[in-house]
């Protein structure tokens, strides 16, 4: 039996930055600099009464410290969608940067699926270097470790079906264990690219994002995503592009600009 998910992107935060701050070695392209908007999303996947949350956003306090604008606390955004947080069965994490695993405490009954390579890296000594550590919140990593001790964490890696209709694929590049997800829907398969691709422009013009741990893996990730698009007819959704709010329909009955139906 095929499991087909309803998929909703929830836009809870935003940032305006210079393109030279968002793309790696912007000067290599010989183009003028300018402002670009970067949006922050998490995702709600629903099927037959089961609710799954993919990534959990940044906590507003962490966002404020980092100069990000929180448009809606994820807690309130979930309430706007009529979601009972106690009823969320699983939380799937793409990687452990601060804007993807804040707010874990909002889901007291959920099992948390975490990439093995991510958790191993961010609990290692090398992750303490500022070039790495600036992208995470130590308290959130500690919270995740505490959840694992409570037997609420499932580690995963590689290419694997996490549950019926949701397949995780390790691409790395942006972060050591960065994942993308192929989600079965009533239409074409949906690829939630998370930070493997922040903007459509990365995929269309091979322009890497500024934050990268392995550039070769990032380029290979772009190739893999293009192959998924061609071979499966999949719709690739980047993790931070404001164009998502234009290419997908807003969800009726919710505050304007908050939620968008991906499938």
Question: Which CATH code is given to the segment(s) 6-261?
Answer: 3.60.15.10
Per-domain residue ranges for the chain?
6-261
The predicted pLDDT at position 2 comes to 83
CA–CA separation, 151 vs 75, rounded Å? Answer: 24
Q: 1: pLDDT confidence band, cut at 50, 70 and 90?
A: low
Query: What is the mean predicted confidence (pLDDT) over 189-204?
Result: 98
Per-residue pLDDT of 154-175, as tens digits, reads 999 889 999 999 999 999 999 9
Per-residue pLDDT of 117-154, as tens digits, reads 999 999 999 999 999 999 999 999 999 999 999 999 99
Per-residue pLDDT of 53-102, as tens digits, reads 999 999 999 999 999 999 999 999 999 999 999 999 999 999 999 999 99
The predicted pLDDT at position 74 comes to 98
Per-residue pLDDT of 214-238, as tens digits, reads 999 999 999 999 999 999 999 999 9
CA–CA separation, 138 vs 150, rounded Å? Answer: 19
The mean pLDDT value of the chain amounts to 97
Judged against a pLDDT cut of 90, whether residue 106 lies above it is answered with yes
Start-to-end Cα distance in the chain: 19
The predicted pLDDT at position 157 comes to 86
Q: For residue 73, how far is the Cα from the chain centroid?
A: 16
In order of 150, 158, 175, the CA distances from 180 in angstroms are: 26, 10, 12
In order of 95, 152, 218, the CA distances from 175 in angstroms are: 7, 23, 9
Residues 6+ apart with CB under 8 A from 251: 8, 81, 258, 259, 260, 261
């Amino acid at each position: 039996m095929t499991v087909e998910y309803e998929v909703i992107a929830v836009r809870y935060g935003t940032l305006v930055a210079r393109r030279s701050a968002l793309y790696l070695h912007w000067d290599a392209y010989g183009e003028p600099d300018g402002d670009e908007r970067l949006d922050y999303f998490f995702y709600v996947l629903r099927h037959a009464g089961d609710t799954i949350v993919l990534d959990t956003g940044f906590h507003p306090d962490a966002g404020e410290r980092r100069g990000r604008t929180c448009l809606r606390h994820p807690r309130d955004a979930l309430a706007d969608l009529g979601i009972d947080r106690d009823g969320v069965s699983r939380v799937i994490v793409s990687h452990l940067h601060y804007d993807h695993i804040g707010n874990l405490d909002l889901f007291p009954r959920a099992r948390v699926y975490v990439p093995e390579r991510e958790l191993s890296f961010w609990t290692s000594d090398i992750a303490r270097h500022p070039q790495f550590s600036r992208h995470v919140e130590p308290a959130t990593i500690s919270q995740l470790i505490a959840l694992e001790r409570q037997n609420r964490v499932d580690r995963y890696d590689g290419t694997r079906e996490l549950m019926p209709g949701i397949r995780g694929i390790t691409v790395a590049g942006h972060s050591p264990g960065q994942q993308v997800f192929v989600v079965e829907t009533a239409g074409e398969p949906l690829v939630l690219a998370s930070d493997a691709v922040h903007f459509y422009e990365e995929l269309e013009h091979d322009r890497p994002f500024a934050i990268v741990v392995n550039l070769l893996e990032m380029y290979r990730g772009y190739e893999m995503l293009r192959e998924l698009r061609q071979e499966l007819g999949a719709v690739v959704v980047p993790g931070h592009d404001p164009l998502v709010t234009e290419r997908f329909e807003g969800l009726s009955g919710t505050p304007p600009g908050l939620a968008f139906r991906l499938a």
